[in-house]
């Protein structure tokens, strides 16, 4: 289905990426149309920089990208009107063309959305937030051995407390919920007198299983040894606990043992005694609070993590800190035959328009997008080229101030440097 667009220019050349639902496969032409949303704040700087680098990597490996500029946040308000933050054009473009990349967005007060980023994920049913965390040579890190980190987090994207089902203290609605919980459900011992805010934490079987399935498929396709289900099921037994149970059901019931092996009692550190079939992906469970410790003390023991929304937010940021911070942390949102790549960091408005911000995170998010498309050659080239710049100390201000003898580059200069590396490495 092709949409009519109001304020978006569709490239005259290029072809659409399509999806075979039955085979669960993308058909990616050599000259795809890819929507790009530069974003707010520093997105105005890093978005064009990433576009330049991704174009160079694609061309160096025999591909051609036809960029389709779309808008949200301030750019949308400038183009569509002050009350339009997420135009139908943008949603329809990403839905139709399936693979896209965006920079950071700022949700203005009173915009009608809790978060524009969350709105895009939920509207397009991008149920898995995927964040690879790996160390690039030369990046300053607070850890003694940051190179031990090579982990991918799969965070459920549509449920949990991020579903936004909550009621404000002092409203008629919250009092109705309080009365129901106290009088009908018998939980009066935790409902203290006075103002109260109440939220609902939905965790569904469908949402949990499709997230774990996505993580397992990724582990199998990328030769990862282990998938760890991370939750707080010892306390929240019927939400986070159910996530763990449903996740293990996927491992036990949907995959043969020689491909995926569900380790018994792994939550209690007994997996070393388990006889795992050769080449099988092992699935284990860990408590979320303990996992924050194990990520630092036993970093190299973890490959792929799958978890509910809130835990995934905390843990992926903590993992990013171990390899140098969110300024270089890539990410993407996966749905059924759909990918929206985006950096982990925010819009940093005080740095906007100064040509100073580090574009590495959105560039490396583009690398993840290329992997999703099956362009592994271009993806590898991007990582190697970015690492070459950083290891040479040719970096933006955020890294230069931590590197003795480093050379400070602007956003534009850094992206040009990476493009030169691509041309030399190709």
Q: Annotated binding residues for D-threo-isocitrate, as ranges?
A: 115, 117, 121, 131, 155
Closest CA to 385 of 424, 358, 350: 424
Residues of each annotated binding site for Mg(2+) = 313
Q: Alpha-carbon distance 274 to 256, whole Å?
A: 17
The answer to whether 393 touches 414, Cβ cutoff 8 Å, is: no
Q: Residue 161 gets which letter from DSSP?
A: G
- What is the token pair recorded at 143? 């850890």
Catalytic residue among 102, 160, 232, 255: 232
Residue 289 among the catalytic residues: yes
Closest CA to 155 of 202, 207, 117, 192: 207
Catalytic residue among 71, 80, 162, 372: 162
Catalytic residue among 40, 89, 303, 313: 313
Beta strands in 99-179 (DSSP E): 99-102, 128-134, 150-156, 166-167
Q: Alpha-carbon distance 318 to 321, whole Å?
A: 5
- Residues forming beta bridges with residue 284, ordered by sequence position: 228
Residue 134 among the catalytic residues: no
Residue 217 among the catalytic residues: no
Q: Alpha-carbon distance 40 to 53, whole Å?
A: 20
- What is the token pair recorded at 144? 């003694």
Q: Alpha-carbon distance 43 to 352, whole Å?
A: 8
Residues of each annotated binding site for NADP(+) = 106, 358, 397, 401
Residues of each annotated binding site = 106, 115, 117, 121, 131, 155, 313, 358, 397, 401
- Residues forming beta bridges with residue 268, ordered by sequence position: none
DSSP string, 3-21: ---SS-PPPSS-B--EEET
Q: Alpha-carbon distance 166 to 174, whole Å?
A: 8
- Residues forming beta bridges with residue 306, ordered by sequence position: 154, 229
The region that residue 32 occupies, defined by phi over 0 for left and psi between -120 and 50 for alpha, beta otherwise, is beta
- What is the token pair recorded at 133? 């965390």
Residue 313 among the catalytic residues: yes
Catalytic (active-site) positions: 162, 232, 289, 313
């Amino acid at each position: 289905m092709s949409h009519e667009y109001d304020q978006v220019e569709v490239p005259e050349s290029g072809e659409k990426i399509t999806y075979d639902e039955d085979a669960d496969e993308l058909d990616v032409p050599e000259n795809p149309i890819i929507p790009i949303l530069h974003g707010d704040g520093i997105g105005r700087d890093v978005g064009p920089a990433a576009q330049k680098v991704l174009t160079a990597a694609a061309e160096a490996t025999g591909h051609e990208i036809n960029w389709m500029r779309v808008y949200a946040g301030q750019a949308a308000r400038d183009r569509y009107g002050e009350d339009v933050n997420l135009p139908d054009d943008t949603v329809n473009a990403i839905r139709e063309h399936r693979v896209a990349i965006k920079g950071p967005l700022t949700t203005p007060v009173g915009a009608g959305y809790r978060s524009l980023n969350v709105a895009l994920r939920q509207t397009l049913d991008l149920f898995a937030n995927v964040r690879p965390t790996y160390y690039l040579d030369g990046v300053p890190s607070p850890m003694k051995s940051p190179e031990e980190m090579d982990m991918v987090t799969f965070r459920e994207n549509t449920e949990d407390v991020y579903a936004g089902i909550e009621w404000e203290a002092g409203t008629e609605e919250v009092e109705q919920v309080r009365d129901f919980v106290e009088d009908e459900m018998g939980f009066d011992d935790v409902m203290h007198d006075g103002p109260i805010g109440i939220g609902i934490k939905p965790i569904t079987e469908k949402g949990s299983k499709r997230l774990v399935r996505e993580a397992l498929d990724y582990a199998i396709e990328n030769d990862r040894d282990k998938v760890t289900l991370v939750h707080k099921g010892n306390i929240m037994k019927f939400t986070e606990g159910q996530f763990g149970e449903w996740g293990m059901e996927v491992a036990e019931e949907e995959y043969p043992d020689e491909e995926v092996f569900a380790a018994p009692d792994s939550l209690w550190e007994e997996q070393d005694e388990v006889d795992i079939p050769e080449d099988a992906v092992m699935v284990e469970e860990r408590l979320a609070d303990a996992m924050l410790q194990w990520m630092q003390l036993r970093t190299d023991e973890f490959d792929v993590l799958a978890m509910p929304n809130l835990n995934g937010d905390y843990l992926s940021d903590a993992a990013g800190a171990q390899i140098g911070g969110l300024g270089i942390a890539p990410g993407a949102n996966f749905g059924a035959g759909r990918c929206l790549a985006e950096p982990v960091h925010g819009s940093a408005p005080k740095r906007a328009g100064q040509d100073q911000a580090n574009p590495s995170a959105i560039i490396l998010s583009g690398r993840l997008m290329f992997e999703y498309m099956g362009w592994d050659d271009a993806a590898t080239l991007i990582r190697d080229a970015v690492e070459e710049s950083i290891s040479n100390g040719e970096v933006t201000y955020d890294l230069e101030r931590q590197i003795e003898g480093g050379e400070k580059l602007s956003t534009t200069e850094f992206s040009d440097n990476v493009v030169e590396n691509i041309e030399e490495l190709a």
